[in-house]
Structure 1
């Protein structure tokens, strides 16, 4: 089997080594220092998010050795993955290819029509459209780029004075039209799933920490979520209904869900592994390597998932709520001695000016811990977070 992969971050690229298939890679120039070139069947550095360049490179590879499956592990590559799969006449992961549209309004239409929790929505092309939506459905609402990703451009609208700031925040990120939805209130979770031939499996449920309104930047994740069995089941079932509603059949997904007073409701579906290192939290907590399993499924290889005693993992993201500056020498050892500490990672330079966080891009790093259960892992993560934060900013 010949797999064509568009973009593979280092940990995913490691999973491709030794896979019982020929693996060709389209990588962004300099993304991984070209180290995959040594083992890849074909290795091409190209802006794979650009349709012309990505299509040209894929067609050249396919002409030499026909591709059997196109894989897009990143949201930014999905539009190109879909087009490559259509033009080459091959399947894709995620798939099927006809369901790879990035239009969040279309996804909401499918969810509302597929037996999922009903959420009012409207595509807004100008501020007046947003005003009309909140006039009809009331406050609060949430706006986001109709084709955005991560937390870029997300903003709540709690009253008339929020309409213009929310419109500016959602529109300024440059993803086109703005999607307005009735704001769902409650604790947020995500469901990490694997799908094969339309059969969906819940691998884990993640509890999410955010900054709250107005930007809802994610600041931490807990695996497994601190829910009882009936609540875990309800959240998981809503996610699986959503995957069926949009026609998803192959590959991992990260389904974001709110537990409202009326039951779980889907916020978004991301047809990829959970970002923010959720895939690593899942592996630490369950022993399941979702990336490897998805690739083995893609290659048609039979295997048994790993079986380990259940435990837990937590990540807490570092961020600032004020204008500040990081210390010159970053405090890599500030959390030394915290039980279960896996690592401390910084994404800010020493002595850099930092501002209050408005999106995931403004976070300063993270602490990651592993524990025997969620409560103890949460306590250890809080201890590590407090120690590092106290030493990081001045």
Structure 2
């Protein structure tokens, strides 16, 4: 059973079919792209409707359940695993890995490096907590993803603080908001698979964001270009965090900033990384098929996580000015650039391109592969130059 039928889940749906498995796909959207795949069972249920999904899992007597690169269904995945005694994480681990407040508490309690943080629910608490910061802080909802509700606060006026509080609060399902120290430093993600309680680091990714105030991820490059000693520190902190949260079976995606005080955990997900990191970049750079590995973990089989080659890969996201997307040209020319693996659109013609505040606002992407970091970055730049957007 795969929770979600969006473009994020599509590689898992296809891969599970290729592996000869009977695939049940769950999504509340009847028009979801994954539902268009032939030869699957479609269930129109919300991926966070735990009781209904548990009931369906029992009815179909499933052998495994997963979601790919999405935090929201993880607590449902864990509930099904517990109910049917399937391989997977526990409900406690799922909560720790999806609720940023619970995650911060767990990591700090167990000595994993994290930023200074405060958890609040009401405006008065938010205002009082803001006094603990001098120049700036990050505000984020406790239980959302994809950069939704995240903002850097540098103006401590009452008006601006209220705006930041309201912006983050609207994305919080449980009403909790985090105020966190803004960590200066380069950002990375660590892609890993745990097998029999051992966290195996598959790849470390350099991350590019849009910067303040919303920090939307705009690119990823593998392998990291950081020096070996610092990469060892990053891997060590990631492993520690994964183990502390209780992710002892299956994938994890750890985001880390390397600060003046060393690496600190931004977030840890008990699932594969999104943004084409584990569906595209890891296979292109290492030869490790992390989607197949995830599926094998979900059905109780040992995955093949041995690296097959050492290449470089990258993804870059494109963002034109806000407006209505009238046309896009140059896709074919971009695809013809040496090293380009895939070019795609994330918005349809006629859709509104909003001011970019989270990952759902991005418009297009380019994925490349090469032998060196310089090669892949040059290919990205060349391909991007060929793509032109007409905005009304």
Superposition TM-score, scaled by structure 2 size: 0.89
Distance 2:281 2:23 in 1: 26
Deviations 1:324-345 (A, max 9, x none): 4544354323425422011221
Distance 1:216 1:177 in 2: 20
Which residue number in structure 2 is paired with residue 47 of structure 1? 46
8 Å CA contact retained: 2:331, 2:386:
no
Which residue number in structure 1 is paired with residue 93 of structure 2? 99
Shift of 1:183: 1.3
Which residue number in structure 1 is paired with residue 65 of structure 2? 70
Distance 1:85 1:316 in 2: 36
Whether 2:119 is the aligned partner of 1:123: answer yes
Distance 1:356 1:18 in 2: 39
Q: Name which of 161, 184, 194 aligns with 1:163.
A: 161
2:224 aligned counterpart, secondary structure:
coil
- Residues 108 and 14 (structure 1 numbering): CA distance in 2 closer, same or farther, change over 3 Å? same
Distance 1:149 1:37 in 2: 30
- After TM superposition, the structure 1 = structure 2 runs for residues 205-216 of structure 1, keeping only pairs within 5 Å, are 205-216=204-215
Shift of 1:291: 1.3
Which residue number in structure 2 is paired with residue 284 of structure 1? 284
Which residue number in structure 1 is paired with residue 353 of structure 2? 354
- Residues 182 and 305 (structure 1 numbering): CA distance in 2 closer, same or farther, change over 3 Å? closer
Distance 1:287 1:250 in 2: 21
Shift of 1:250: 1.0
- Residues 311 and 104 (structure 1 numbering): CA distance in 2 closer, same or farther, change over 3 Å? same
Whether 2:281 is the aligned partner of 1:310: answer no
Aligned length: 381
Point out where structure 2 has 5 or more consecutive residues left out of the alignment. none
Which residue number in structure 1 is paired with residue 32 of structure 2? 31
Deviations 1:188-244 (A, max 9, x none): 110001011220011001111111111001111111111121121111111111111
Distance 2:124 2:147 in 1: 24
- After TM superposition, the structure 1 = structure 2 runs for residues 236-247 of structure 1, keeping only pairs within 5 Å, are 236-247=235-246
Which residue number in structure 2 is paired with residue 256 of structure 1? 255
8 Å CA contact retained: 1:286, 1:310:
yes
Deviations 1:17-53 (A, max 9, x none): 2547665443443434646662x5x653433322343
1:99 aligned counterpart, secondary structure:
helix
Distance 1:312 1:7 in 2: 30
- Residues 362 and 327 (structure 1 numbering): CA distance in 2 closer, same or farther, change over 3 Å? same
User: What is the RMSD computed on CA atoms of the aligned residues?
Assistant: 2.4
Distance 1:138 1:256 in 2: 25
Deviations 1:329-368 (A, max 9, x none): 5432342542201122112333554333111111111111
8 Å CA contact retained: 1:141, 1:158:
yes
- Residues 43 and 108 (structure 1 numbering): CA distance in 2 closer, same or farther, change over 3 Å? same
Superposition TM-score, scaled by structure 1 size: 0.88
Deviations 1:270-304 (A, max 9, x none): 11111011011111111111111222234344564
8 Å CA contact retained: 1:81, 1:92:
no
1:100 aligned counterpart, secondary structure:
helix
Report the more deviating stretch, 148-157 or 171-180: 171-180
Deviations 1:79-136 (A, max 9, x none): 22233333x241443x133311132111101111222114221222123222222212
Distance 2:379 2:38 in 1: 40
Report the more deviating stretch, 122-131 or 101-110: 122-131
- After TM superposition, the structure 1 = structure 2 runs for residues 62-211 of structure 1, keeping only pairs within 5 Å, are 65=61, 67-73=62-68, 74-86=70-82, 88-93=83-88, 95-101=89-95, 102-161=98-157, 162-175=160-173, 176-211=175-210
Distance 1:336 1:26 in 2: 33
- Residues 167 and 343 (structure 1 numbering): CA distance in 2 closer, same or farther, change over 3 Å? same
Point out where structure 1 has 5 or more consecutive residues left out of the alignment. none
Shift of 1:10: 2.0
Runs of at least 4 residues off by over 6 Å: none
Distance 2:303 2:327 in 1: 49
Shift of 1:15: 1.7
8 Å CA contact retained: 1:331, 1:391:
no
Which residue number in structure 2 is paired with residue 6 of structure 1? 3
Which residue number in structure 2 is paired with residue 383 of structure 1? 382
